[in-house]
Amino acid sequence: MTQSQVRALAPDREDLSCVARLLTAAPLEDVAMLASPLVTEIGWVIHLASESGFALIGCRRVQLHRDELANLLGMADSQAACFSNGVACVLLLRRENALHHAGAFIQNVVKEIKSRRELGVPASLLFFAMPCLSAVLQTVHCTRIDSLPKLKSDAHRPDEPRYPDQEQLAVLIVSGRNFQAIAAELLDQLAEFELLGLKCLPRFPQLHAHFVAEQLLGGSGGGSEWRAAKPLMELPALTFVIRGVGLMHQLDAIAPHYPACSDYRLLHSTSWHQAYCLTRNLFADFELFECSERRPCLLTCPPPEASGASAEAATVLAQLRHPGPDRVVTHSYLLLSNSSSGKGASNDDQHWHLRAVARAARLVARDAFELDWLGLVRQLDTDEFQCAVRLQRENSVSALMCRRSALVEVLPARVAVAMPTNWREIATDFELLAASQQQQSAAASRYAANPSPPSTATAAGDCTGLLWRLPAADALPLLARLCDLLHRRGVRLIGLQSLRLEAATPGQCASLGRDLRLHRLEAAGHDGLSRDGGSQRRQVDAVLNNRNELIPGNYLVFILEGNLVSLGLRNYLNESLPPDTAGLLPQLGHPSVVYQTEDATAAAAHLANRLCMPLLPNDLIVCLDNN
């Protein structure tokens, strides 16, 4: 090789000095990156940091104060106001000459976020880079960013969610050499859920590593637990806590795509109790923040003071320890109406009530709803009648909203359904239904204090009052079955309402049977009873006491057009819905018994009047007792 060729390959003295200066001026440096509450794509930010050569050495979600940001960090007033308006996130990043590259990194992140959604704010309100000085870390509450609380044991075991539409809690731990990219992907995929806590650790301390291995890997002591905990003590890890509806289903779908390997390992909790134990031993109270915008149950469930929930939940940990708002039994309404129920409606339209109630009851029974009240209500402004069904269950409003599209599909044509979409509507738009229920309960309670004989009614035909006793549980399947049977016989419904007889008012139960002269509906047969006289007698004894009075319980009151003989119901109901038939109604706690009124039309009118039942327009009951 000639001298000119050597001179061409080797840089001159000036170039060598420039390279030396760069090598001595580019040591590893730490930078604190502050993401404002407007940045919700934390997983995406961590992913871009990894691609830009930044190593994540710590992170924490913090609530900052405006004065501290303006006075100590030198932020402008607009910046300080934005960064203190919510929960910000502090990322500690490490790279050679990190402060020099922070500006380009922020520009790259802002550009990527703009490609995903519309920002509407300048980049200065999204990120703020600072050197990792002690004063800076103290201002953003990150002086001991990798500290862990002491291990604590708690005998309290929080209740697990009973239904998939309730909130679920999970703790995820991603450890290994490539933890940063994998954790960023998981955070991005789970961005729809509420992020409660986020923490990055260079390694787990020995006691905490053994605790995590025992909780998530089933370590039972000895060598197996040590082998499970060893990677946690040697490699960095990112831990985060998330909460939301359908969370476990989403994790079950995501986890198989991240099998354990030499570069990373994904661990996650499988129950609320397990996640709660991990959260309280890996996060302090000041490291956890809730986000009400990601909790739809706050709109569909009553506030704690309205639901009677504990007022202790002042911190996130206390909230996780006690049942949330979606664990409280609440009420919701179904309001069924038909646009073709006025004059000129077809015969099929006039029978929509039984079909609509039957199909709605059968559908909501699948989600463990319980029937609390049922009745016809009259709209004061339009004078139209609607079927109102009051249901109860944990998280009832949200669960019923999830069934809205299915209800629309199964209901008869031209039957519309309305339901509350949030808790406030229960006390406003649906207050008429609540008032109707209270009026019915108050009217029923007057039986004991003011019994009176049935009133007279002028009738152009017959009508019949039926009382059907509901079981203590699973009343909705029986309601659906009964409405279907009545609809098959072409029965026209005039009045419908539920009735609750309380044990605290025994006179109320006695006056019903005496005042209305109710008697058991039975098919003609042996000894005037049904096919099995002894079995039927035992069924009746279960709902009547020795004085022939109704025992307390829940009943359905039907006012039907026609009498039982003309309608063919005397034998039909007992043959189609015998009280002791377990095949048709499995797992019902109590037998169902039907009663009918004797002086059909007059007693039915009196029954409707005493219960303040609004009756559909008809030519049968002309006048009612107005006392």
**C-alpha–C-alpha distance, residues 183 and 264, integer Å:** 10
* Among the listed residues 199, 198, 222, the one whose alpha carbon sits nearest the alpha carbon of residue 210: 222
- pLDDT computed for residue 105 by the predictor: 94
Residue 280, amino acid: R
Q: Can you name the CATH fold of 167-321? A: Alpha-Beta Plaits (3.30.70)
Contact 168, 247 (CB under 8 A): yes
Q: Could you tell me where in the chain the CATH 3.30.70.141 domains are found?
A: 28-139, 167-321
Say what the pLDDT of residue 433 is.
Answer: 58
**Average pLDDT, 10 consecutive residues per value, the chain (627 residues):** 44 46 67 93 91 93 90 88 92 92 92 85 89 89 89 83 92 93 92 94 93 81 70 93 94 92 91 94 94 87 60 73 84 82 48 87 91 79 78 90 90 84 70 55 46 40 71 80 82 81 61 55 35 44 50 78 61 52 27 51 65 58 29
The DSSP bridge partners found for residue 2 are none
Class of residue 131 by CB neighbours under 10 A (exposed 0-12, middle 13-18, buried 19+): middle
Give the Cβ contact number of residue 63 at 10 Å: 12
On the 0-12 / 13-18 / 19+ scale of CB atoms within 10 A, 52 is middle
Residue 494: per-residue pLDDT: 81
Is 235 in a helix, a strand, or coil? coil
Q: Which helix (H) or strand (E) holds 567?
A: helix 564-567
pLDDT at 422: 78
With 0-12 CB in 10 A as exposed, 13-18 as middle and 19+ as buried, what is 533?
middle
**In CATH, which of 3.30.70.141, 3.90.550.10, 3.30.1550.10, 1.10.287.3510 is domain 28-139?**
3.30.70.141
Structure tokens at 459: 């009738």
Note the pLDDT of residue 509.
Answer: 60
